[in-house]
Amino acid sequence: MRISRRGFLVVGASLPLAGFAGKVMGQTSSGSSGKGGNLTIGLSSYPPNLQPWVNAGSAAGTMAALIHRGLLSFSADGQIQGELAESWERDGDTGWVFHLRQAKFQNGSPVRAEDIKWNLEQVADAKSTAYMRSQFQGVERIETPDERTVRLIMKQPTVAVPDWLATYFMPMVAPGTLSRDSFAVGAGPFKLKKLERGVSIDLEAFEGFYKPGMPKFETVRVVAYPDENLRVAALQSGDVDLIDYVPWAAMSQIEQDKNLRLDTTLGPYMYLTFNGRTGPFADARVRRAVALAIKRDDIVQSAFFGRGAPLEGLPLQEGTPYYDAARAHGWRRDLDAAKALLAEAGLSGGFSCTLLSTAQYGMHKNTAEVVQQNLADLNIVVNLHMPDWATRVALGNRGQYEFAVNGTAMESTDPDNLSSVLDDTAAPSFIRSTGITVPGLSALLHQGRAEFDTKKRRAIYAKVEDLVLQQAPFVGLAWRSQGYAMKANLQGFTNIPGPLSFYSATTLENASLA
Amino acid sequence: MEWFVKRLGISVLLVWLVATIVFLAIYLVPGDPAELLLSQGGAAPDPAIVEDLRDQLGLNRPVLEQYLHSMAGLLRGDLGYSMMDGAPIAGEIATRLPRTLELIGAAALISVLVGVSTGTLAAVGAGGAFDRIASALAGLGLAVPVFVVGTVAILVFAQSLRLVPAGGFVPFSQDPAQHLILLLMPAGTIAVGLSATMFRVTRSAVLEVTLRDYVRTARAKGLSFRRILTRHILRNALIPVVTVLALNLGTLLGGTVLVEYVFNWPGLSGLLVDAVNGRDYPAVVGVVLVISILFVTLNFVVDVLYAVLDPRVRHG
C-alpha cells in the first residue's frame, strides 16, 4: 500500500489524536467512482439564503437546481423540457395546460395539481417577495380539473410563460413546509442534509426522485470558495470535483491540465446605461457616438483575458431565430462616424463626464477603464467613480450618475428578456438607463411578449433592434465567457449554452465520476 | 476598587459609543439591504417587492426608532437577526468568533515560540552570523504582505506538493486531524509577520536588559548564564514583548480578513466583510460590538499580565 504525501502528513498530525488517523486518511479526496459516489462542488459564494422563489443570485440558483424542481426546466442543450409537468400545451390565446407526472416531494407526499396552484398563488401574493411576482400577477385564474392537470389562464397572451416556469426562480415546494429559516421541502434530486452557514451545504440523494436511476451521486457537498484563486487551487489539488465562475486568467492553465476539463459558453455580457434626464447623454447622438467609439476587443482582452467577444448590438445569441448578423454589428467601432455625431450634437470639442462603475469587481473596473481610454479619442474626459457594489447599485437605482457600466445575463434565450434592460416604462433600476424614453420601444416589447408566431416576433424584435441601435438607450460592450471547470472524469455535467449557463447544476442529476 | 469601577465604566461607555458610531455610519453610507438582496445576479427587482421586504425587515421605520430598538436589543444581549437569511446574529458570532480566536491563538503561539526563541538567540550572539541571517529574514517577513505569503503557501504546499488542502474549514468535533491541518496554513501565514515582529522586539529588549546593572551584578555574583538569562534578562525583557503581542492580537481580531479570505477560513472577519458588503446592519453592529468588547477586555488582561510579570506594577 502506498501512502501519499498528504496522507502521511494527515497521519502525522493525527498522532496526538490517536483513533482519528484512520478516519482522516483519504478524506481530502472528494469523489469516488461509479454509482453512489460523492461530489464536491466549489461555489463562488455561499447562497445568501435558500428561500424558494427569491432571486438570491447564482449560488442560490445552483442550490435550487439541486434541491428543487419546477414544472419545467432547461435541458443540457438549452431547450425547455418537462419536469414535474411531463407535457404542456397552449390552450386558446391566454391559456396554458400542464399535465403532471407521478412525482413526490422529498417528504413523501405526492405532487398534486392543488400543490402547484398553491405555489403559483404564493408567488403572486400581494406580500410575496418572489422574483416572478409581477409576472405571475398576470395570471387571471388557475384551474385544477383533476389531480394531475393544471390550467393557467393569463390576463394577456404571454409567450414567455414556459420560460418563466423553467427558471430556478419557480421551484414547486411542498405546501406547509416553508419555515422561518426559509427552507422548504422540494421535489428535486437531492435533499438538504446539513448546512454550516457561510461554509458548506451537504445534500443527499432523494431516493424518491421521479427520474429512474437518478441522481447518480449519493451525496453532494457544496463548499463556498469566494476567492477565485483558491477555488481553482482547490480543484487542482483535488479538494473539489467541480467549480463555477472559473476566473478568466486561469482558463488556459486549466485547459492545459490533462486531469481537468473546462466548459465555457458566452452568456453574460457587459453594457453601458445612461442618465438621459440632464447632461450630454440626453442626446441620442452622443450616446450613439459613445457606442461607435468603443474598442470592444480591448475590453475582451483587458477584463476577460481574451475570453469573451465584442457585443456590438443587442445581446441576442447567434443561432437563435432572432439573431441578425448585420444588426448584431450595428455599433462596430467607427471613429469618424462617432466624431460626426458629436459635431452634429454641437460637442465636437468634447466634454467632461463621470462614469459609474465599481472597484469591487475586476471586470466592471477594467471595462470602465477601457471606456475611459476609448472616449478620449472623442475628446471626452471621463472621470471614474468606482464605489463598492452596494453603493453603485444604490446610485444606479436613484439615477445619481451620468453613465454607468453594468453586467448581467438574460434569464433565458427568449428575446422577451430584453425588456429587463430596455423597457423604459418599467420602474427605475440600476440595470437600465434613467430618463430615456424611446418612442415605440416599450409598445414593441409588449407586442413581442404577446406574439406566438415566430416570424412575426422576428419582425417585431428587428424593429426593436433598429430603434435601440439608433437611440442607444443601451450600449452593448462585450460578451463574457462563463466557465465551469471539473475533474476530467466527471461525466454527465454540461455547461448549458448561452445565458442558460447559470442553470447548469440541473444536469448534475445525471452526473457521475467515471 | 474605585480604579476598577471607573475603568469598567469607561469601558462600557466606549463600547456604547462604538455601537452608536457603527450604527450611524452603516446607515449613512449608500446601499440598501433589501435592494441588494433582491438585486443579486444583476436582477432588477420590482420596487413594490423591495418595499415589501423593507417593511418585513423593519427598514421603513424612522432611523431613531431603529436605533433605540437596536440598543434595547443589545442591552438584553439580543443582537438581532441577519437581514440576509434571518439567522440569529448572536448565534452566528458564537460560531465564528471561536474560529477567529483559534486562528489568532495558533498564530500567536507559533510567533511566540519562533520569535522569542530566535530573538533571544540573536541578541545573545548579537552581530554574529545567526543574528544577521535572522534579522534579514525578519525584515523579509515584515515586508511581504500577508496575502502574498498565503497565496505562495497555497501554490507550494497545496497545488505543487499537494501536502495539504488548498483551504477550507472542518469543525474540530467532526474531524480533529483535518481541522488542525486546515488551521496550519492560515495560522502559519499570519505567524510569518507576527514572528518577525516578536523577533525584533525580543532581540532589542534582551539587548537592552543585558546592559542593566542588575544583570552585571548577577554576573559578578557568579550566577550561571542560563540562570541570568531566564531569571533576570528574559523575565524583564518580556514586558515589551507582551505589550506588542497584545496590541497585535487586538488588531488581528478584525484584521484576519485577508487570511480568512485567502484560506476560506470562516471566521469573524469574513462575516464582517460579508455583512458590510450586503449592508446587513444587525450583523455589522453585532460583530463590531463584539470585537470592541474583546479589544477592551484584552487591554485589561494585558494590564493584569504586567502586574504578574513586574512586581513593581503589582505593588505600586
Q: What is the pLDDT of residue B49?
A: 81
Rounded to a whole number of angstroms, the distance from the CA of B82 to the nearest CA of chain A is 10
Q: What is the pLDDT of residue A5?
A: 45
Cβ distance A360 to B277 less than 8 Å, yes or no, reads yes
Give the integer Cα–Cα distance in Å for A80 and A56. Answer: 23
Q: Which residue has the higher pLDDT, A262 or B17?
A: A262
Cβ distance A227 to B261 less than 8 Å, yes or no, reads yes
Does residue A67 lie in a domain region?
no
pLDDT tens per residue, range A92-146: 999 999 999 999 999 999 999 999 999 999 999 988 889 999 899 999 999 999 9
CA angle A179-A185-A189, nearest 5°?
A: 150
Cell of B150: 498565503
Give the integer Cα–Cα distance in Å for A119 and A114. Answer: 9
Q: What are residue A68's phi and psi, to 5 degrees?
A: -115, 165
Is the peptide bond preceding residue A497 cis, with omega within 30 degrees of 0? no
Helix (H, G, I), strand (E, B) or coil at B199: helix
Q: Which helix (H) or strand (E) holds A73?
A: strand A72-74
Does residue A286 lie in a domain region?
yes
ipTM of the complex, rounded to two decimals: 0.75
Q: Are A326 and A354 in contact (CB under 8 A)?
A: no
Does residue A506 lie in a domain region?
no
Please report, for residues A250, A304, B116, B142, B185, the alpha-carbon distance to residue B195 in angstroms, rounded to integers and kept in the order given.
Answer: 33, 39, 8, 9, 15
The domain tally of chain A equals: 1
Q: What is the pLDDT of residue B230?
A: 85
Amino acid at A203: L
Q: Are A320 and A413 in contact (CB under 8 A)?
A: yes
Cβ burial of A99 (10 Å; 0-12, 13-18, 19+) is middle
The DSSP output letter for B56 is H
Cβ distance A27 to B178 less than 8 Å, yes or no, reads yes
B161 contacts chain A (CB < 8 A)? yes
Please count the residue pairs, one from chain A and one from chain B, whose beta carbons lie less than 8 angstroms apart.
194
Helix (H, G, I), strand (E, B) or coil at B287: helix
Chain B, residues 31-50, CB within 8 A of chain A, namely 31-32, 35-49
Does residue A212 lie in a domain region?
no
Arithmetic mean of pLDDT, A30-49: 77
As a whole-number percent, the residues of chain A with pLDDT over 70 amount to: 92
Nearest C-alpha in A relative to B88? A181
Give per-residue burial for B233-271: e unless 16+ CB within 10 Å, then b. bbebbbbebbebbbebbbebbbbbbbbbbbbbbbbbbbb
Give the integer Cα–Cα distance in Å for A381 and A383. Answer: 7
Neighbours of A344 (CB within 10 A): 14
Cβ distance A21 to B37 less than 8 Å, yes or no, reads no
Arithmetic mean of pLDDT, A405-416: 92
Cβ distance A49 to B84 less than 8 Å, yes or no, reads yes
Does residue A255 lie in a domain region?
no
Cell of A367: 471595462
Question: At A335, which CATH number?
Answer: 3.10.105.10
Cβ distance A60 to B181 less than 8 Å, yes or no, reads no
B293 contacts chain A (CB < 8 A)? no
For residue B177, give the nearest of A24, A227, A387 by CB distance: A24
CA angle A16-A22-A25, nearest 5°?
A: 100
Rounded to a whole number of angstroms, the distance from the CA of B178 to the nearest CA of chain A is 7
Residues in chain A with CB shorter than 8 Å from the CB of B262 are 227, 229-230
Neighbours of A278 (CB within 10 A): 9
Q: Are B239 and B309 in contact (CB under 8 A)?
A: yes
Which domains does chain B carry? 16-89 (no CATH), 101-313 (1.10.3720.10)
- pLDDT confidence band for A34 (50 / 70 / 90): very low
User: In angstroms, how far is CA A14 from the centroid of its own chain?
Assistant: 43
Neighbours of A309 (CB within 10 A): 17
Arithmetic mean of pLDDT, A264-281: 96
One DSSP character per residue, B131-175 reads HHHHHHHHHHHHHS-HHHHHHHHIIIIIIIS--S-SS----TTT-
Q: What is the pLDDT of residue A128?
A: 87
- Cβ neighbours of residue B101 closer than 8 Å, sequence gap 6 or more: none
Mean pLDDT for chain A overall: 91
Q: Where are the beta strands (DSSP E) in B16-84?
A: none
Assess whether pLDDT exceeds 70 at residue A7: no
Cβ distance A198 to B38 less than 8 Å, yes or no, reads no
Q: Are A120 and A136 in contact (CB under 8 A)?
A: yes
Assess whether pLDDT exceeds 90 at residue A262: yes
Q: What is the pLDDT of residue B27?
A: 80
Amino acid at B120: T
Does residue A7 lie in a domain region?
no
**Alpha helical stretches, state H, A262-416:** 284-293, 296-304, 325-328, 335-344, 362-375, 389-398
Assess whether pLDDT exceeds 70 at residue A19: no
Q: Which residue has the higher pLDDT, A217 or B258?
A: A217
Please give the residue range of the domain that contains residue A414.
267-480
Does residue A376 lie in a domain region?
yes
Give the integer Cα–Cα distance in Å for B274 and A463. Answer: 44
Does residue A336 lie in a domain region?
yes
Q: Are A145 and A153 in contact (CB under 8 A)?
A: no
Q: What is the pLDDT of residue A367?
A: 97
Q: What is the mean pLDDT of each run of 10 residues along chain B (316 residues)?
A: 73 85 84 79 76 83 88 87 87 92 94 95 92 95 91 89 87 90 94 94 93 89 87 87 85 81 89 87 88 80 71 60
Give the integer Cα–Cα distance in Å for A278 and A271. Answer: 20
Q: Are B53 and A129 in contact (CB under 8 A)?
A: yes
